[in-house]
Structure 1
Amino acid sequence: MLRLSALGDVCNLVPTVRALQRQWPEARITWIVGKAEHSLLAGLSGVELVVYDKASGLAGMRALWRELGDTRFDVLLHMQQALRASVLSLGLKADVRVGYDKARAKDAQHWFTHHQLAPHPRAHVLESFLDFARLLGVEDLSLAWDLPIPAAAREEARALTLGSPYLLMSPCANPRLRNFRNWSAEGYAAVVQHAWEQHGLKTVLTGGGSTQEREMGARIQALCPDEAVIDAIGATSLKGLLALIDAARAVIAPDSGPVHMANALNTPTVGLYATTNPDRAAPYRWREFVVNRYPEAVRTYLHKDPETIPWGQRVRHPDAMSLIHADDVIERLEAVLQHAAAPPPDKDA
């Protein structure tokens, strides 16, 4: 398998790995993955993880080709729609190379594969990954993750929260050019205040150590009671973040790795979506609890009908997330907490 990035995508891919393992328990599965993504997936049962650091460029590719030079794969599942990954695939020995159909392939990926997936218009990312298992004839496509969380990571989380019940909030998406997925500090602060006053839940702020993320965290904290916020921005490993998410009452974040990590752990999740299409990229098991302002953003900033634009097109406008209001998020938070607290249905009823 070849899928280098990103954190959310590799989380969405794990159910495909588990489906392959159920179908062929003796099969050897090798997954070529990015450096940060390896930190998240380390210890994934039954899988050999091979790291390619994208920063290493062609030299890193050559090193990986040498590392796998004596290995010939029966099937290469080319699951990364990027030219870099396609070039990397050229140095791997495989009898069969499977990639996306032309409608979903990007950067001419179909030129680098022997077989393409059957068309699957308007597919969620997780379903697109499962299409690789479908093509190979896998019958049981039920969802399973079983992401490993080591004891040290759980201790890392406990040291930050000191046993207090909490909501986890990851306010920023990946700080890259024209991402525009971040909501406002004022909106987040209103939700923090509500969770504290109505449920006695502290809010743990998480994220990387970038200036943008630290500044967002500081703005949120300045608008909230000191006792309502635990600042963990830049303070955890990826496994530590997994442990924090696993123990949280709920997670709130824009379209980013943490909502998909929470989905993988089945932690109640409220995703905030205006610039990306939640029908394609929402946390899969918690889709009904998404705050969805994507159709409105398409009409407002692209001046188009959402039904007529390419599947997965982003709204790259800095004001798109302002279409989400604090009341929207609070209502979804209340709904997801109520859902999580409800007893499971009586199967005999």
Structure 2
Amino acid sequence: MKQPLPARPGHICVLRLSALGDVCNLVPTVRALARRWPEARITWIVGKAEYSLLSGLDGVELVVYDKATGFKGMRALWQSLGDTRFDLLLHMQQSLRASILSLGLKTRVRIGYDSERSKDWQTWFTNRRIAPHPHAHVLESFMDFAVALGLDAEQELSRLRWDLAIPAAAEAEAEGLLAGRRALVISPCANPRLRNFRNWSAEGYAAVIEHAWRRHGLTCFLTGGTSTAEREMVARIQTLCAHLGEGAPVDLLGRTSLKGLLALIARARVLIAPDSGPVHMANALGTPVVGLYATTNPERAAPYLWRDYVVNRYPDAVRTFMHKSPDQISWGARVRHPDAMALITSEEVCAQLDRLIFDTAATSSRSSENPREA
């Protein structure tokens, strides 16, 4: 039996544990719910790393679940919530782990994805569904939960708001790293996952870095973790850019906190990266983004406010490596081939970078061009 929706929910639970890019895309929905019901409590259950990104988010109570703690951690979370009863649960994580976690949350109304978008048997753990929305962007899919509660999609998508908190210590961290330089931030590697071929080439990045320095006077800051793949990528980029002297890229792998990275991106003139958390972090901060997409569909997962500046080789990759046309595959299908990103050329990335800098020059406080001659 379908449970009736509360007319004025007093306490809303949002369940979305990961990942960094996805939680960035979810923040506008949480903001929309808070606008609609300003007196309602909103509790958001998030992952450990995601909490580090979202901490300080006003108007929201963040509850952390560390997936490394397994079922023991779930029990601890359930106990910490005690007798808390929610008016409704927005089950926004399509994973069996999250669905099991949801079983210990006290609520009658459990809203999940429609059957087309549901994964890992999520429909078994919910009693209401959002309406179908073929070909939706991830951000729009999250907003569909607000629409299910009576909010107007067009209106809410026209006034997206993030306002991620950046503490003073993170601001100082970023200022110290930049040292007054105008920044191009490049996060060259996506998270390492099985058959997740999202990374572009060191040679391509090196060509773009040289162009950004000579044409726009931008110093490149390379960010990311400390995995072997990332270290090897950055070492190769630095070798290729050694001739740039003071224009050589700065290696920041493992040298920033997550909030420090957020502050760094907020100060950057532009960010370039493949489909990964940083493109959505930049999008949330209003920093211009050139996204590099060939293995994932940018119409579904591009930085939302900067979709027009994506380098999109996804249709070509589908035809080349899947031997199909884009309309013959599912909306979220990935091209799992190690050569897919090689379809992207440095020339088209440089062209998008030039176009983006030109188009945002009038509105950016960091838009002084001062081009350098070769």
TM-score bracket, shorter-length normalisation: over 0.9
- What's 2:345 paired with? 325
Whole-angstrom distance in 2 between the partners of 1:226 and 1:138: 54
Whole-angstrom distance in 2 between the partners of 1:41 and 1:317: 33
Q: TM-score, normalised by structure 1?
A: 0.97
Q: CA deviation at 1:287?
A: 0.0
Structure 2 counterpart of 1:108, which letter?
A: W
Whole-angstrom distance in 1 between the partners of 2:334 and 2:238: 30
Whole-angstrom distance in 2 between the partners of 1:258 and 1:206: 9
1:255 aligns with 2:275: yes
- What's 2:258 paired with? 238
- What's 1:227 paired with? 246
Whole-angstrom distance in 2 between the partners of 1:218 and 1:71: 51
The unaligned stretches of length 5 or more in structure 2 are 1-13, 365-374
- What's 2:368 paired with? none
Q: How many percent of aligned residue pairs carry the same amino acid? A: 70
> Contact between 1:275 and 1:316, CA under 8 Å: does it hold in 2?
yes
Whole-angstrom distance in 1 between the partners of 2:318 and 2:47: 32
Kindly provide the CA deviation profile for residues 268-290 of structure 1, in whole angstroms up to 9, marking residues without a partner as x. 00000000000000000000000
Moved over 6 A (4+): none
Q: CA deviation at 1:95?
A: 2.0
Structure 2 counterpart of 1:314, which letter?
A: R
1:16 aligns with 2:29: yes
Whole-angstrom distance in 2 between the partners of 1:60 and 1:101: 29
> Contact between 1:246 and 1:267, CA under 8 Å: does it hold in 2?
yes
Structure 2 counterpart of 1:153, which letter?
A: A
Whole-angstrom distance in 1 between the partners of 2:284 and 2:145: 19
How many residues are paired up?
344
Whole-angstrom distance in 1 between the partners of 2:83 and 2:343: 54
Structure 2 counterpart of 1:299, which letter?
A: R
- What's 1:287 paired with? 307
- What's 1:67 paired with? 80
Structure 1 counterpart of 2:172, which letter?
A: E
- State which drifts further: 226-235 or 256-265: 226-235
Q: TM-score, normalised by structure 2?
A: 0.91
Q: CA deviation at 1:343?
A: 5.2
Structure 1 counterpart of 2:246, which letter?
A: E
Q: Work out which of the residue numbers 301, 311, 336 in structure 1 matches 2:331.
A: 311
Whole-angstrom distance in 1 between the partners of 2:138 and 2:19: 12
Whole-angstrom distance in 2 between the partners of 1:246 and 1:240: 10
1:166 aligns with 2:186: no
Q: CA deviation at 1:342?
A: 3.1
Q: CA deviation at 1:134?
A: 0.4
Q: CA deviation at 1:207?
A: 0.4
Q: Work out which of the residue numbers 64, 78, 85 in structure 1 matches 2:91.
A: 78
Instruction: Identify if the C-alpha distance between structure 1 residues 212 and 190 changes in structure 2 by more than 3 Å, giving closer, same or farther.
Output: same
- What's 1:347 paired with? none
1:203 aligns with 2:216: no
Structure 2 counterpart of 1:336, which letter?
A: L
Q: CA deviation at 1:231?
A: 1.0
- What's 1:37 paired with? 50
Whole-angstrom distance in 2 between the partners of 1:70 and 1:221: 55
Kindly provide the CA deviation profile for residues 49-90 of structure 1, in whole angstroms up to 9, marking residues without a partner as x. 000001111111111111112100001000000111000000
Whole-angstrom distance in 1 between the partners of 2:135 and 2:283: 20
Q: CA deviation at 1:226?
A: 4.0
Whole-angstrom distance in 2 between the partners of 1:336 and 1:199: 12
Q: CA deviation at 1:214?
A: 1.4
- What's 1:216 paired with? 233
Give the root-mean-square deviation of aligned CA atoms: 1.0
- What's 2:134 paired with? 121
1:307 alignment partner, SS class:
helix
2:250 alignment partner, SS class:
strand
Whole-angstrom distance in 2 between the partners of 1:198 and 1:125: 34
Structure 2 counterpart of 1:340, which letter?
A: T
1:152 aligns with 2:172: no
2:15 alignment partner, SS class:
coil
Q: Work out which of the residue numbers 298, 306, 325 in structure 2 matches 1:278.
A: 298
Whole-angstrom distance in 1 between the partners of 2:246 and 2:81: 52
- What's 2:16 paired with? 3
